[in-house]
Amino acid sequence: MMKGMKEPRKLAVWMLAAAIGAAAVVPGYASAAQAAAPTKQASAEAMDTAVREAMKQLADQGVLSGYENGSLRPNQPVTRAEAAKLLVLALGLKPAGQAGSTAGLDAAEHNGKWYVPYVNTALSNGLFEIKDGKFRPNEPVTEGELAAMAAKALQRDNLSLSTWLSSVADGKANATRGETSRLLVKAEQSVRSANASIVSVRAIDGIALEVTMTGPMTQSDETIEKSAETFKFDGGLTIVNQPRLKTGSVNQYIVPVTKMEEGRAYKLTYKGEQVVTFTGTGELIRFNDARQVTNDTFEVEALLADGVVDYGYVISAYAGGRGKDAIVLEEGNRHNGQPLQIISSLRNRTAVLTPEGGEPIRVSYVGYTQSTDGKQEPKFRLPAGTVLQQGVRYTVSADWFTVKQPSFVASQIAPLTIASAKQTDAKTLTVTLAQDPGDELFAFRSVTLEGSDGSKLTAQYRVQTRQGATGIFDLQNGVELKDSVAYSVKPVGAWAVTSGEVTLASK
């Protein structure tokens, strides 16, 4: 634990009550925890009704077939062959690659079987793996496997799909026809569409909107480049970063924007056609503390205990990398019944740092530092060449956040120490510190490589690549390392020093 780290800062407090338990259940679906509650019978009846309705819907669509006696057998395990058919038909998957052949199946064993076209399509879309060269069409599919396949088809995270199954605990139980039907009905609503339109817009704090769509947008429409064109606001408001689907949600996006005015009526024009109005709020993001982390950088800390969560833990795009810390919000952006304020993207945001008795300094957010290493501590950096003065009290402020303890006294902090560097290929190298900083302190730092031939190259840290004490750095301006040249590595600026002469080791 780093010096000054407080126990509440750990995201261990974020752990879901039971992996994917009651708090992770999509509204309308019962969980294992709820099933154990006094309303067990009512919950079971609701689940049975939902299963029956889902199976009937898929049967009416021609996706699900009954048996010879007309029964649908909701408790019957789903085989790999059946899963292929259900996924392809329910989600409207089209063949890709070599789907016209048996696409990896043993022709002699599978030729002419009913499932071949569905399996071909599923395989060509990357939904299945061939084990030992055999497809094993009659092998049962586990709930975890089913969720993963549906997630791949929908271009979503596994956690979202897992929460749409009512009984997933460890994902090892066999998926039944009933549970599969419930999942697929939800998944049908989650197929991405270029025709998705806005249902509603509401401000969730002073710098973010919650936009509910008819369904998820295409991944192309979600990019910052495209959304900057399609989300147009009046009143000087602009989009800051791309819209992000909430984990477990079919159609709700968090959309970061510039600072809104309290009570102001705004107009959003989507794709130049649809016009939606909403009322702005001036609600400030609530940070707990401000503190120095390097001689030119400080951070502000938000705590889940204070009801504040970074969007990195609640959006679908990041769920896969957050492990047990990923959260599926309940209705109204609640977690375990507690309403949460969501910190959206801080891209391009600034704050003010005022030294006691001095002039205010405009500082910029350091990209990709707002939720790293299990902590919610976005960092801000002084202008290049400016450092904090030892013994001076500084106060942090902004028009978009508030801090309970906004002041700190600057001290002289020892720079990081580069212990070694190693070439990975002609354009990249890894840089290893003498010890793990336990936080994202590499961000937007650079090193120079001075060659024995007199050349001088620059490499910049690749954001989000640090593993412990080691980070990846990329050479700039398209230059490459030469095998015949020896390079010494030095930091650009005072963010680090070297432990003696650091020579670039070969790959």
pLDDT tens track for 152-179: 999 999 999 988 886 545 567 899 999 9
**CATH annotation of 416-505:** 2.60.40.1220
- Which region among 42-46, 304-308, 315-319, 451-455 has the lowest average model confidence (pLDDT)? 42-46
Question: Taking residues 413-424, what's their average pLDDT?
Answer: 97
**pLDDT at 292 exceeding the cut of 90:** yes
Please give the CATH topology (third level) of the domain spanning 198-279.
Immunoglobulin-like (2.60.40)
Decide: 327 and 163 in contact? Cβ < 8 Å. no
At 170 the pLDDT is 58
At 362 the pLDDT is 98
Mean pLDDT for the chain overall: 87
Give pLDDT tens digits for 196-217: 999 999 999 999 999 999 999 9
Radius of gyration, CA atoms only, the chain = 26
At 72 the pLDDT is 80
- Which region among 52-56, 337-341, 450-454 has the lowest average model confidence (pLDDT)? 52-56
Give pLDDT tens digits for 345-388: 999 999 999 999 999 999 999 999 999 988 999 999 999 999 99
How many Cβ atoms from other residues are within 10 Å of residue 152's Cβ? 17
Among 30, 59, 65, 62, smallest CA distance to 46 is for: 30
What is the sign of the dihedral through the CA atoms of 148, 152, 157 and 160?
Answer: negative
**pLDDT at 3 exceeding the cut of 70:** no
CA distance 369 to 76: 47
Extract the tokens encoding 174.
């066999």
**pLDDT at 30 exceeding the cut of 60:** no
**pLDDT at 41 exceeding the cut of 80:** no
At 19 the pLDDT is 28
pTM of the model: 0.85
Question: Taking residues 31-53, what's their average pLDDT?
Answer: 54
CA distance 371 to 446: 22
Residue 84 φ then ψ, to 5°: -60, -45
Question: Taking residues 243-258, what's their average pLDDT?
Answer: 97
**pLDDT at 31 exceeding the cut of 60:** no
Extract the tokens encoding 96.
């890709």
355, β-bridge pairs = 394
Q: How confident is the model at residue 7 (pLDDT cuts 50, 70, 90)?
A: very low
**pLDDT at 18 exceeding the cut of 50:** no
Question: Taking residues 488-494, what's their average pLDDT?
Answer: 96
At 40 the pLDDT is 41
- Which region among 112-116, 190-194, 221-225 has the lowest average model confidence (pLDDT)? 112-116
User: Helix or strand or coil: residue 57?
Assistant: helix
Residue 167 φ then ψ, to 5°: -115, 10
Give pLDDT tens digits for 50-83: 888 999 999 999 999 877 676 788 899 999 999 9
Assess whether the region 285-323+337-409 and the region 416-505 belong to the same CATH fold: yes
CATH architecture, range 285-323+337-409: Sandwich (2.60)
Cite the DSSP H helix spans in 248-405.
316-322
At 65 the pLDDT is 85
Domain-by-domain residue ranges, the chain?
A: 22-188, 198-279, 285-323+337-409, 416-505
Extract the tokens encoding 468.
């412990």
CA distance 315 to 302: 18
Extract the tokens encoding 92.
């409207």
CA distance 411 to 407: 13
Give pLDDT tens digits for 82-129: 999 999 999 999 987 644 444 556 555 677 888 888 998 998 899 988
